[in-house]
Amino acid sequence: MNYRWKPSVTVAGIIEQYGRYLLVEEHTPKGLMFNNPAGHLDPGESPLQACVREVLEETAYAFTPTSLVGIYLSRFSKPATPEDPEEDITYLRFAFTGELGAHDPYRALDTGIVRTLWMSMEEMKATQARHRSRLLVRCAQDHARGVRLPLDTVYTDPSVYMPGGPA
């Protein structure tokens, strides 16, 4: 059997104002959980574009990334359901920070998102049992430590944007 392991690529917005971080509360198979505004990289987009899109879809805020906070690898065991078997998933997360723009109060939040909220580092640490991602606190800690990498640290080749790939 030829098996090629492929991690799921995700992006996250690490957005802080006045010592509090923008989070979402969302429905998951384990109940209501907290997460950074985050999601999967879609075909034909760069990690930067995916982050802008995900923050908008999950919070209704415009977002302009200014720096990469870090690249993170984590593993998650998705429990079995009556429809699906147990699944071992590895996530490769690109976390960006930047400037929060205008909020669109008329924009519907992504399916499953209940609300947005702001939490301090202490509040995030106190609610870890309700975190969707084990990386939520780590990303905020790296942000608070001042970790900032240039956006061009993550290069996207133009072939990504070509339908059907390069000729």
Q: How does pLDDT run across 9-66, given as a tens digit for each residue?
A: 999 999 999 999 999 999 988 899 999 999 999 999 999 999 999 999 999 999 999 9
In the chain the beta strands, taken as DSSP E runs, fall at 8-13, 16-17, 20-28, 31-35, 38-40, 61-78, 87-103, 113-120
125 CB-near residues (< 8 Å, 6+ apart): 137
**Tens-place pLDDT, residues 59-114:** 999 999 999 999 999 988 777 778 887 778 899 999 999 999 999 999 999 999 99
- pLDDT higher at 102 or 6: 102
**Tens-place pLDDT, residues 134-149:** 999 999 999 999 999 9
Q: Is the entire prediction scored with pTM above 0.85?
A: yes
**Burial of 129 by CB count in 10 Å (0-12 exposed, 13-18 middle, 19+ buried)?**
exposed
64 found inside a domain: yes
2 found inside a domain: no
Identify the domain containing residue 85 by its residue range. Answer: 8-104+111-149
164 found inside a domain: no
144 found inside a domain: yes
CA distance 114 to 31: 11
- pLDDT higher at 128 or 89: 128
162 found inside a domain: no
**Residue 19 pLDDT:** 96
Q: How many domains does one find in the chain?
A: 1
Residues 39, 11 contacting (CB under 8 angstroms): yes
pLDDT of residue 163 exceeding 80: no
CATH of the domain at 98: 3.90.79.10
